[in-house]
């Protein structure tokens, strides 16, 4: 827990963070939480995911703390296990049509089961209930998948063996009373059954998507547009942004890795949308991956070595200039009602990028995509309505 806290505090002042899903309140482990919050899967996956593991690896190298790698190893393995046992699509399903992938997954589950069994928790090496639960769940799923695949099934979705339906019923039963008595459970169950037939239930225990506020974000800003006197718009100097010496080292080391990773994500999204071609990507990428420490986060998050894009130094300098412009103006944009897209675009489009291919106007597409991404990531998210829903992992 202290390693995760140190990571969050290390990049607390950064605009772009490696562990984007964690805030300082998330690592305040002295704060008391009720039992219902502890049971929610969303509160656990904030810490146990591949992104946090990769961020810890980068933090370990940058701060010369090799002991952090133990935490990164544990988080990475738990996150991989959770991804396998909650597979809900054909891409992550267990299937023998690809023997290599199937053997690799089964071997990981067997190894993970032994790993959890040998874990020593705390200074006195206590055995914890969660260890027994994870071992029992893994062993049961291994036997179930073998049972069905031996009988001719093409694939097995392990997430279908969870108790979501039972958890949803429990959530509804506790909606009005957190600890109902037997008679209350019986009466509430009757009401829930009638309600399911008569009307669609608005609130349920399914995983909540916290990014609904991102829909039509730019349109909402444009509807609040107003005229701003020219004197109130800050002056931004563009001239020095293209100087590589001035840009490299102006950000914290973790923030440089984040900028490099975001640049690859933006280019990947443009390529997947078909708005740019392979020639455009070739002008932005580094086939030899000679960008050194800048690509640490990207390399750790690249799960198969070919899933992410590695940009060249010129493209990194371009993106760091865009980030510098955004960081200088974010406070100003939050205090007024203004067409922020146009304002930022007019500033960012002036940054030189002579190395970009000219076939698909890639510079314009990158600027527009980067503005949308940074406005989304920097905006305050609305508070979620508190519900007493149980989302245990088993």
14-45 pLDDT, tens digit per residue, is: 888 898 888 888 888 777 667 767 777 778 88
Whether 3 and 71 have beta carbons less than 8 Å apart is answered as: yes
The shares of helix, strand and coil residues in the chain, as percent rounded to the nearest 5, are: 60, 0, 40
Q: Could you tell me if 115 and 138 are in contact, meaning their C-beta atoms sit under 8 angstroms apart?
A: no
What is the sign, positive or negative, of the torsion defined by CA atoms of 273, 277, 280, 285? Answer: positive
**pLDDT (tens digit, 9 = 90+) per residue, 205-221?**
444 444 444 445 555 55
| Cα–Cα distance, 20 to 52 (Å, whole number) | 8
Average pLDDT of the chain is 80
**How far, CA to CA in Å, does 368 sit from each of 234, 340, 394?**
21, 12, 43
Q: Across-strand partners of 95?
A: 155
β-pairing verdict for 155-156 and 94-95: antiparallel
pLDDT of 378: 77
Residue of 299, 304, 288 lying closest to 260 (CA atoms):
299
**Tokens, residue 118:** 């040998």
Distance (Å, rounded) from C-alpha 62 to C-alpha 94?
Answer: 38
CB atoms under 10 Å from CB of 309, counted, come to 22
393: pLDDT confidence band, cut at 50, 70 and 90? very low
Cα 54 to chain centroid, rounded: 11
Q: What per-residue confidence (pLDDT) applies to 73? A: 95
pLDDT for position 150: 93
pLDDT greater than 80 at residue 323: yes
**pTM listed for this prediction:** 0.73
Asked if 76 and 50 touch (Cβ cutoff 8 Å), the reply is yes
What pLDDT does residue 388 have?
45
Does residue 228 surpass a pLDDT of 60? no
Closest by CA to 353, choosing from 368, 367, 370, is 367
Cβ contact 295:310 at 8 Å = yes
- Least confident interval from 116-125, 292-301, 374-383: 374-383
Distance (Å, whole) CA 164 – CA 240: 55
* Tens-digit pLDDT profile for residues 74-96: 999 999 999 999 888 888 889 99
Average pLDDT over residues 147-158: 92
pLDDT in tens, 238-278: 444 444 444 455 788 888 899 999 998 888 888 888 888 88
Q: What is the CA radius of gyration of the chain?
A: 25
Please tell me the predicted confidence (pLDDT) of residue 240.
46
On the question of pLDDT at 349 being above 90, the answer is: no
Grade residue 66 by pLDDT with cuts at 50, 70 and 90. very high
When pLDDT is cut at 50, 70 and 90, the band that residue 291 belongs to is: low
Mean pLDDT (whole number) for 292-313: 84
Spatial distance between the Cα atoms of 137 and 146, rounded to a whole number of angstroms = 14
Average pLDDT value for residue range 110-127:
91
């Amino acid at each position: 827990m202290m390693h995760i806290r140190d990571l969050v505090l290390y990049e607390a002042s950064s605009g772009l963070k490696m562990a984007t899903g964690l805030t300082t309140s998330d690592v305040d482990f002295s704060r008391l939480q009720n039992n219902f919050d502890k049971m929610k899967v969303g509160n656990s996956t904030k810490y146990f995911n591949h992104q946090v593991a990769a961020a810890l690896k980068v933090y370990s190298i940058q701060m010369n703390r090799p002991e952090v790698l133990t935490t990164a190893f544990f988080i990475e393995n738990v996150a991989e296990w959770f991804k396998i046992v909650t597979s809900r699509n054909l891409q992550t399903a267990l299937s023998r049509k690809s023997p290599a992938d199937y053997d690799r997954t089964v071997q990981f589950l067997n190894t993970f089961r032994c790993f959890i069994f040998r874990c020593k928790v705390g200074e006195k090496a206590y055995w914890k209930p969660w260890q027994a639960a994870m071992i029992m769940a893994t062993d049961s799923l291994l036997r179930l998948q073998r049972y069905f695949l031996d009988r001719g099934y093409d694939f097995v979705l392990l997430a279908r063996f969870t108790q979501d339906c039972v958890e949803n019923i429990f959530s509804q039963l506790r909606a009005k009373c957190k600890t109902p008595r037997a008679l209350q459970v019986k009466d509430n169950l009757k009401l829930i059954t009638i309600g399911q037939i008569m009307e669609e239930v608005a609130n349920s225990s399914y995983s909540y998507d916290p990014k609904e506020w991102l829909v039509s974000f730019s349109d909402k800003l444009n509807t609040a547009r107003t005229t701003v006197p020219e004197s109130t718009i800050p002056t931004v100097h563009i001239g020095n942004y293209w100087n590589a010496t001035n840009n490299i080292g102006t950000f914290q080391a973790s923030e440089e890795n984040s900028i490099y990773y975001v640049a690859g994500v933006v280019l990947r999204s443009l390529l997947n949308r078909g708005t740019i071609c392979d020639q455009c990507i070739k002008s932005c990428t580094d086939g030899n991956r000679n960008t050194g420490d800048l690509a640490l986060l990207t390399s750790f998050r690249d799960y198969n070595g070919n899933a992410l894009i590695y940009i060249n130094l010129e493209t990194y300098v371009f993106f760091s200039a865009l980030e510098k412009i955004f960081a200088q103006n974010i406070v100003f944009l939050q205090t007024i009602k203004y067409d922020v897209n146009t304002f930022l675009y007019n500033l960012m489009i002036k940054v030189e990028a002579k190395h970009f291919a000219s076939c698909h106007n890639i510079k314009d597409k990158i600027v527009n995509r980067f503005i949308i991404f940074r406005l989304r990531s920097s905006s305050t998210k609305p508070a979620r309505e508190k519900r007493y829903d149980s989302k245990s992992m088993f």
